[in-house]
């Protein structure tokens, strides 16, 4: 019993305590097992993670460029444009404004400012700033977008030199790996020097020296605290905080940088205020560094169309052009001279004018035999206005369009000696009555076509246009090279349609080249950086107009310069040309040529304000003459061809018949040219009595006698 009781009591006692102890043991064992499981999983996870990280690092490391190339880094090779006489007109590359300098030549203040604002721990980290990355990652997660990069200066250098600009995870990984490698191979001083020479500062300025000279006109080692803070502030957005464009924004960023330097203990509060209140003197901005700006930009536009902008600015091509730089400089001087000329006080037809009231001018010269553009001045000053008036402007040509009318008339059988009446006329048109007026507001009666052309008589030109048909005239103009839309109206000869200067120049090239069409060309050949040919201009010549018709036209155009409205352009050699003046004096032109060169000149206003009585035979003709006198030095005088199939006849303008011995002495009689078979064949026939009466009357008047019979 006792045994059983003890046993029973003992059993009961052991059962209660052992249960509690066992539960504790089980819990401890389970926790240990959990910890061990977690440890194992952690080790496995860490191993897998390490493998993954290692794989990622190896994968991206293999894609990275050679870090050693940093020490030999140079910008993409420059494309150069040359004139025909060997002058470099332009040097083109994306980093167009870069001056590399050693760090000893960079302001210490600027160095401290950059580090304070862009990478405070620059001298402490090994390429990456973990705190910065975590802070940026947190902000990116909150914003659900890439809003902050957390990049060190070394990372920025890696990105600027080798990587694309978009914020992508792949780029970020490469950037970190490259930064670590850069830090391993280069000192902090070398990295800072590379960064300051590479970073972009807006307006195509790369590197601190280029930026300092562009914005402040001084070397970077002379930058003040105020200037250094302003430049460093711009790095957040060089174009957005440019002092040239947004000076207020520039000043706000300058203050942010100065306050940051104060927080870091680099400068005092007083220095902040002194620097912020310091007057910032900006340098004059140089917009372009092209020589022969209008021509160079014209060539650049063609190159971009041929190869694309990126290739043009990075490939190191050599572009050889047609421009004669010596004559281009002369063209620029001539345009400037006649701009100054127009600013004088003039008295015209009794009225006093303070100036001629034109603000722009242009000139272009081309060799009609091969199309080479020899000189191109598309305005007064390329730095002030890049609008090229030789190729971009479309304006009314005035009477400079008349050659197409006379060419069509000759094609229809009219001769230079054909006589047309210059008397008032009214045409009934769909728009209503149309009565053309001459510039002089006077009428001359019967005129040979040749003389009407020389005097630029509007009425005769409009009558011929009506007789041959405006559509025929448009067809002639299109064949010669006019590409602009032309409406076949009666006022076509007076320049009713707008055209570009280079279009008309191409047409006059056809005249100078006796009907052969050659397109104007500015680029002769292009080579790559190694001298391998990429492009060679292929000469192409097409006969678009009948040679003898054009020779006849040119023969009559010589008279315009010798005796007509173009006398202001006369040279001691054969010259042909045509003046052009719009009826409201908005445009004045002269197109003239010798067999070796065609040159066109224009004056006017971009806003179409009228000038003060400026005609094509005045300022433009004088400009043309001033340019051509220099351009033709050493070029032998050459005569134009003479028309075939023509005869000369002595003609009375009043009767349109051959002059005879009986033709009155006061009659207008000249020797004119006609196509064979179209010349007048009948002589003036005067009644012998009428002739006797005139002779008798003259005798009586000489004797002081009066006879009523002769007064009849």
Which are the catalytic amino acids? 118, 399
Burial (CB count <10 Å: 0-12, 13-18, 19+), residue 708: exposed
Query: How many H helices and E strands in the chain?
Result: 22, 25
SS3 604: strand
Using the structure block, give the residue that is written with the tokens 């047409």.
507
Residues sharing a CB contact under 8 Å with residue 617, sequence separation 6 or more, in sequence order: 565, 566, 567, 568, 579, 581, 590
Task: Report d(CA 516, CA 479) in Å as an integer.
Answer: 10
The count of other CB atoms within 10 Å of the CB of residue 530 is 7
Burial (CB count <10 Å: 0-12, 13-18, 19+), residue 474: buried
| Assigned token pair, 612 | 């003060």
Burial (CB count <10 Å: 0-12, 13-18, 19+), residue 692: exposed
The count of other CB atoms within 10 Å of the CB of residue 438 is 18
CA 12 to chain CA centroid, Å, is 108
Helix (H) or strand (E) holding 88: strand 88-92
The answer to whether 205 and 286 have CB atoms below 8 angstroms apart is no
The answer to whether 403 and 511 have CB atoms below 8 angstroms apart is yes
| Assigned token pair, 536 | 């060679």
The answer to whether 509 and 482 have CB atoms below 8 angstroms apart is no
Q: How many residues does the chain have?
A: 712
Task: Report d(CA 236, CA 250) in Å as an integer.
Answer: 11
The values of phi and psi at residue 191, to 5°, are -65, -45
| Assigned token pair, 626 | 């001033």
The values of phi and psi at residue 81, to 5°, are -110, 125
Task: Report d(CA 390, CA 579) in Å as an integer.
Answer: 17
């Amino acid at each position: 019993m006792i045994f059983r009781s003890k046993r029973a009591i003992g059993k009961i006692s052991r059962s209660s305590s052992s249960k509690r102890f066992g539960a504790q043991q089980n819990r401890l064992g389970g926790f240990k097992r959990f910890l061990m499981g977690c440890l194992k999983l952690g080790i496995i996870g860490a191993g897998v993670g390490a493998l993954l990280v290692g794989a990622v690092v190896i994968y991206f490391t293999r894609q990275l460029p050679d870090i050693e190339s940093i020490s030999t880094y140079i910008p993409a090779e420059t494309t150069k444009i040359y004139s025909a006489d060997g002058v470099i007109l332009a040097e083109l590359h994306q980093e167009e404004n870069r001056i590399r300098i050693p760090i000893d030549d960079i302001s210490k203040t600027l160095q401290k400012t950059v580090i304070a604002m862009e990478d405070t721990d620059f001298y402490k980290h090994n390429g990456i700033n973990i705190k910065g990355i975590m802070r940026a990652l947190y902000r990116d997660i909150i914003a659900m977008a890439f809003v902050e990069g957390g990049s060190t200066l070394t990372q920025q250098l890696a990105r600027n030199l080798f990587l694309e600009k978009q914020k992508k995870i792949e780029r970020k990984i490469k950037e970190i790996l490259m930064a670590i490698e850069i830090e391993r191979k280069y000192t902090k001083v070398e990295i800072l020097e590379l960064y300051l020479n590479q970073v972009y500062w807006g307006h195509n300025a790369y590197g601190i020296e280029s930026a300092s000279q562009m914005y402040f006109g001084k070397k970077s080692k002379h930058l003040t605290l105020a200037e250094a803070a302003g430049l460093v502030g711009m790095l957040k957005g060089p174009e957005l905080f440019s002092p040239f464009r947004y000076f207020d924004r520039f000043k706000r960023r300058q203050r942010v940088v100065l306050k940051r330097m104060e927080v870091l203990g680099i400068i005092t509060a007083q220095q902040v205020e002194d620097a912020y209140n310091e007057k910032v003197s900006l340098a004059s901005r140089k917009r372009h560094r092209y020589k022969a700006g209008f021509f160079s930009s014209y060539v650049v536009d063609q190159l971009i169309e041929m190869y694309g902008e990126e290739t043009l600015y990075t490939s190191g091509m050599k572009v050889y052009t047609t421009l004669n730089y010596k004559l281009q400089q002369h063209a620029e001087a001539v345009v400037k001279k006649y701009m100054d000329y127009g600013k004088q006080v003039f008295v015209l037809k009794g009225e006093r004018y303070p100036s001629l009231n034109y603000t722009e001018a242009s000139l272009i010269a081309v060799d009609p035999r091969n199309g080479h553009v020899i000189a191109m001045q598309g305005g007064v000053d390329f730095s002030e206005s890049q609008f090229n008036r030789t190729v971009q402007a479309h304006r009314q040509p005035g009477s400079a369009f008349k050659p197409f009318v006379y060419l069509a008339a000759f094609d229809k059988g009219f001769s230079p000696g054909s006589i047309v009446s210059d008397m008032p006329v009214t045409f009934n048109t769909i728009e209503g009555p149309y009565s053309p007026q001459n510039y002089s507001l006077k009428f001359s009666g019967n005129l040979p076509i040749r003389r009407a052309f020389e005097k630029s008589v509007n009425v005769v030109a409009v009558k011929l246009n009506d007789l041959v048909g405006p559509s025929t005239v448009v067809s002639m103009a299109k064949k010669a090279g006019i590409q602009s839309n032309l409406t076949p109206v009666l006022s076509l000869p007076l320049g009713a349609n707008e055209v570009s200067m280079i279009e008309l120049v191409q047409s006059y090239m056809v005249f100078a080249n006796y009907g052969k069409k050659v397109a104007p060309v500015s680029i002769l050949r292009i080579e790559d950086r190694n001298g391998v040919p990429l492009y060679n201009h292929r000469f192409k010549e097409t006969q678009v107009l009948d040679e003898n018709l054009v020779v006849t036209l040119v023969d009559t155009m010589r008279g315009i310069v010798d005796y007509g409205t173009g006398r202001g352009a006369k040279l001691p050699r054969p010259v042909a040309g045509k003046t052009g003046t719009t009826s409201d004096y908005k445009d004045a032109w002269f197109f003239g040529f010798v067999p070796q060169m065609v040159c066109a000149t224009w004056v006017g206003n971009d806003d179409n304000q009228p000038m003060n009585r400026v005609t094509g035979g005045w300022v433009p003709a004088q400009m043309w003459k001033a340019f051509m006198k220099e351009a033709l030095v050493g070029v032998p005088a050459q005569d134009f061809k003479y028309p075939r199939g023509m005869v000369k006849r002595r003609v009375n303008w009043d009767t349109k018949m051959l002059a005879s011995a009986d033709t009155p002495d006061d009659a207008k009689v000249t020797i004119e040219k006609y196509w064979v078979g179209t010349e007048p064949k009948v002589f003036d026939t005067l009644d012998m009595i009428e002739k006797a009466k005139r002779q008798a009357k003259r005798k009586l008047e000489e004797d002081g006698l009066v006879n009523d019979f002769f007064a009849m």
